[in-house]
Each structure stands twice: as C-alpha cells, then as structure tokens.
Structure 1
Amino acid sequence: MRRTWPHLWLLLGVLVFATPIYITLIGSTHDASTIGRGDVPLLPGPHTVENYTAAWVSGGSGRFTVTPASRMLLNSTIMALCIAVGKIVISLLSAYAVVFFRFPGRMIAFWTIFMTLMLPVEVRIIPTYQVIVSLDLFNSMAGLTIPLIASATATLLFRQFFLTIPEEYVEAAKMDGAGPMRFFRDILLPLSVTNIAALFVILFIYGWNQYLWPLLVVNDRSLETIVVGLAKMIGTGDAQNEWNVIMAMAVLALLPPVAVVIFMQRWFLKGLTETEK
C-alpha cells in the first residue's frame, strides 16, 4: 500500500496535465461548429487534415488570421535557439572570468550581474525598448533576441560548478603550457557538457514562451512568433473564433519544445543530478 499511493498521486498529476492537451489534440480534428457548441467529442474527428493545413499554410481563414504556422514556428525556433545559445556562451565566459581570473572588482562585477535577477525584462521593458529603437533594431531578429540573452541565473550556476573544479587541473594545465582559452576549451567545456545541456533545455523553453517582448518590439508579420500569433487568433467579445484552427496551431506550437525535451532528456537529467569531474 505504501508503494501504491505515490503511483496514484503520479497518475493524478499526469491526468491533470495531460487532459487539456488531449482535449486540444481532439479539438484540432473537428470543425469549428462542433467546438463552438461546446460538445467536443473524446474521439478524433474527420477534419484533421484541413485544420492543420489551414494552420500551417494560411494561419486560418476567419476574421483573425495570422502569419502561417510554418513561418511563426521558424521565427520562434530561431529566437529560442539564439536566446539559449547566447545565454550559455555569455554565461560561460563571464563565470570563467569571475572564477579563474584575479582582477580588481571581479566580485563587484559578479554581484552586479547577480542583482539583475531582481530586474526581469518586464520591469525594465521601457528603457530596453528605447535602446532597441535608438539602435534601429526594431522589427528585427536581433531586437527580438539580444535584450533577452544575458542571464544572471546561468552565470551563477556555471560559477558554482567552476568552483568545484580542483585547483590541480589549473596547475596541470599551466605546466602543460595551456593558455587560458585552451584550458577553457579542452578542460572546462568537456566537464560542463551536462550542465550546458540541462540549461539549454530550460533556456530554449524560456525563449520559446516569450510573449510580451515579441509583442512589443515586432509588428512585422513576417517576424511574428507562434505564441504571439496564437494570442492574436483569439478574438474578444462575441467574435467567432476558429477554435479548430487555433487548437491545431496550439498543437503545432507544442511540438518543437517537446522534441527538444525528449531529444535531450538524458543529458538534461544528468545535468540536474550529476557533476562530472
């Protein structure tokens, strides 16, 4: 009985999280009138191909059409990859500098970076927007990604990991004639692979789910992201929404982050539970 309760709670959690996804998946296979009546069946319908084709090719056919899902998925993927890779690269280099170099004010620099955790994008959105406009990065992929690249959290995590590297590794590298960049490339990076993989999954999903900043900094429909596009497809008041196409779009929006999690699951778990030295 002691082993039964954890499984029951786990099953309940799966049902809570999976039921809305299942309803969305089933709703994407029916027509708009069926969903509009509120009686979505529990079995797939006959309109799967036309719903997903409408979402993928045209972004819907009603009053609230958006950029096709194919384009928005590409934009979101590029944005999420740039944010994840950029955050990891900058955080690796900044943590490396703070831990392995001795220079005046290095801890002040670290705590300054750490204090930015209290200032998320939503808090500093107006000055950030002004900077982007001043640099003529409005309506560009650079404007979408650059303000979101710096990450105090990733810098802190890499710093804590680098502090566990034995000092003997540094001394052995110096005796071997390795310079700072060779030590970073040949020793630190291989040791950090699992940490990088775990952070990549988290940061990719963080970038994928961005809504407020893309909504503010982009009004060019060719740069629209899937999260913003989904919100624009949902009308207000008495508007007639194409819920079948919206649900198909939502299912398509789930696929890339789910694929990243599945593909990197082994590395993600190792990065959270193990430390390679």
Structure 2
Amino acid sequence: MAEPKPLSSASGHDKLMIGQSSTGIYVAHAVLILGLVIVAFPIYYTFVASTQTLQTILRPPLPLTPGSEFWNNYGEALFGGVGRIGGVGARTLLLNTTVMALGIAVGKIVISILSAYAIVFFRFPFRMTIFWLIFITLMLPVEVRILPTYKVMVDLGLIDTYAGLIIPLIASATATLLFRQFFMTIPGELVEAARVDGAGPWRFFFDILLPLSRTNIAALFVILFIYGWTQYLWPLLVTNRNDMTTIVIALKKMVSFADADTQWHLVMVTAILAIVPPILVVVAMQRWFVRGLVDTEK
C-alpha cells in the first residue's frame, strides 16, 4: 500500500497556482520603479534647483545634476532669511509649523481618545446623542465655520499666537469615531476583570486601554501631523506677523508674479525643507503606522 504524500509538499502545478511567474514579478517591479520615478522626479528636480544659483534657474534648461550652491543656499535660507516675508529665516518657519502640527496631532488624539472612552465605557444621559452631535460636525469643516471661529480668536486675543493656530483645529470627529469603534471591540470580560482587580477608571484607561491603542494612536498621529503640517487657509487668516508664518504660507508669499522678483533658489530650498519633516515622521513611524491600519489583534 502506497504511503500518502505529506501535506506540506506541493507539486509544481500547486506552486504555479499559488505563486507568481518570473514574468509577472518583472512586470510588477517595472511598474513599481516607474511609479517611483514619476513620484520622486519632481522632488529630485526641486532639490537640484535648490543647489543652483538664481541666474542658472532663470536660464533654462535647468541641469539635472546638483549644483555647487548647496551650503550657500541652505545657509542663507535657514539663517539669513528669505525674501518677501520680512527676512524671517526658514528655521523660524519650520519651528512655527512643527509646533502647529504637533499641537494639532497631539490635541486631536488626546481629546478624541478621552471622548471615545467616556462614550463607550460610561453610562450617562444622552450619551449617544452627544456622540451623534460630535459625528455631525464632520459636515462642518473649518472652511464652513471660518468667520465665527476667526471672530472668537480676535475676541480672545489669539491672533498671531500658537494657541490661535492650534485650538480651532484640535477637535476631531473622525478620530473620536475610530477610537470608539476600537474600544467597542474590547472584550467585556477584560473590563470586568479590571473591575474585580480594583482598577478605577483612570487606572483602566492608562494601564489597559492606552497600551492596546498604541498602534491606532501611532497611525492617527502620522495622519494628523501631516494634516496639521499642510494647513493653509486657517494659518493664512490667523497670522499677520511674519515671524508667526508657517512654511506653507511662506512659500506662497515668496513667489512673485514676475520671475525676476522671485528668489527661486530660496523658494526651492524652502520647498525641500517643507517636505523633509513629514517624510521623517512617516519613515520613523512606518512600522507603527502600518500596524495601526491593518493589525486586528487585541
């Protein structure tokens, strides 16, 4: 009697069915490389322009290799000040934008996780009504409530302040909804075990919920940091002083209608500096970001 084949062995036909042909692998890699070139080439071209002199940029075609003005251009932008915004250096612009992005990201996460915690684990009158009122605010973005929000900031004296840049943008119905949906997957046995163990509301929150939510928090932090970093309309309205300008607003102010009046080498330097921090955040938190999006383990 013939011995049965072990289940772990697979025939060539099975491998062909579940695997991929060498041609398919080459095609997939070619498509990925083409997409990378399409996405990365404008960034590379901007970097090349940031290392050239203004005269080189104004006389096309621009070379495809970096120039010799890297240290001069970046030093001038960071420490000497950029034109058309009162000579404020790019380091001040980066500081303003970083404070704003971090404040928005952290503020949204803190408010949202506490709101979701109260809605899911506490019983109080009109609990679901409050949740739906929070959810309805998704239909009221800052562009819709811009005038009353700006009036409040003026009355409170928060124009040209970090608080004025951050506070109107830290409420997030989306993050509250995401945390609520995650908290609803927490087993009731875990909550009961914590109660039997004598854990109060704050101990349960800090010792159990926060560790379980770290991947979700990391994923939201990356998304919200980039959201805060790329804000344009609200910083444009709430800042008048050049030393409170964010780097996105500065880029718009630096560009004149006439090419000869625009310091294009400093514009390109500022554009590269505006790209670097979000890239660093995504790269540094890539593992947590992916886990926060796809991990289903509780």
TM-score bracket relative to the smaller structure: over 0.9
What is the aligned counterpart of 1:199 among 220, 227, 235?
Answer: 220
Could you list the structure 1 runs, at least 4 aligned residues long, displaced by more than 6 angstroms after superposition: none
Contact 2:86 / 2:242 at 8 angstroms: preserved in 1? Answer: no
Contact 1:56 / 1:68 at 8 angstroms: preserved in 2? Answer: yes
- Considering only aligned residues, what root-mean-square deviation do their CA atoms show, in Å? 1.3
Contact 1:30 / 1:48 at 8 angstroms: preserved in 2? Answer: yes
Matched, 1:241 2:262: yes
| Structure 1 residue aligned with 2:56 | 34
Tell me the SS of whatever aligns to 1:268.
helix
Matched, 1:48 2:70: yes
Contact 2:175 / 2:220 at 8 angstroms: preserved in 1? Answer: yes
| Structure 1 residue aligned with 2:247 | 226
| Structure 1 residue aligned with 2:208 | 187
Matched, 1:125 2:146: yes
More RCO (CA 8 Å, sep 6+): 1
Question: How many aligned residue pairs are there?
Answer: 276
**Stretches of structure 2 lacking an aligned partner (at least 5 in a row):** 1-22
Distance 1:46 1:114 in 2: 53
| Structure 1 residue aligned with 2:114 | 93
| Structure 1 residue aligned with 2:162 | 141
The amino acid that maps onto 1:269 is V
The amino acid that maps onto 2:285 is M
Percentage of pairs with the same residue: 61
The amino acid that maps onto 1:2 is G
Q: Structure 1 pair 65/9, CA: closer, same or farther in 2 (3 Å)?
A: farther
Cα deviation for residue 58 of structure 1 reads: 2.4
| Structure 1 residue aligned with 2:105 | 84
| Structure 1 residue aligned with 2:93 | 72
| Structure 2 residue aligned with 1:168 | 189
TM-score (norm 1): 0.96
Distance 1:243 1:116 in 2: 41
The amino acid that maps onto 1:231 is K
Could you give the per-residue CA deviations for residues 61-104 of structure 1, whole angstroms, max 9, x where no partner exists?
x5565521011101111111110000000000000111111111
Cα deviation for residue 240 of structure 1 reads: 2.1
Distance 1:63 1:103 in 2: 55
Could you give the per-residue CA deviations for residues 129-174 of structure 1, whole angstroms, max 9, x where no partner exists?
0111111111111000000000111101101110110000110011
The amino acid that maps onto 1:242 is Q
What is the aligned counterpart of 1:112 among 123, 130, 133?
Answer: 133
- Larger Cα Rg: Structure 1 or Structure 2? 2
Distance 2:85 2:114 in 1: 44
**Stretches of structure 1 lacking an aligned partner (at least 5 in a row):** none
Could you give the per-residue CA deviations for residues 36-74 of structure 1, whole angstroms, max 9, x where no partner exists?
1221101011111111111101233x5565521011101
Structure 1 segment 255-274 matched on structure 2, within 5 A: 255-274=276-295
| Structure 2 residue aligned with 1:19 | 41
Stretch deviating more after TM superposition (102-111 or 2-11): 2-11
| Structure 1 residue aligned with 2:10 | none
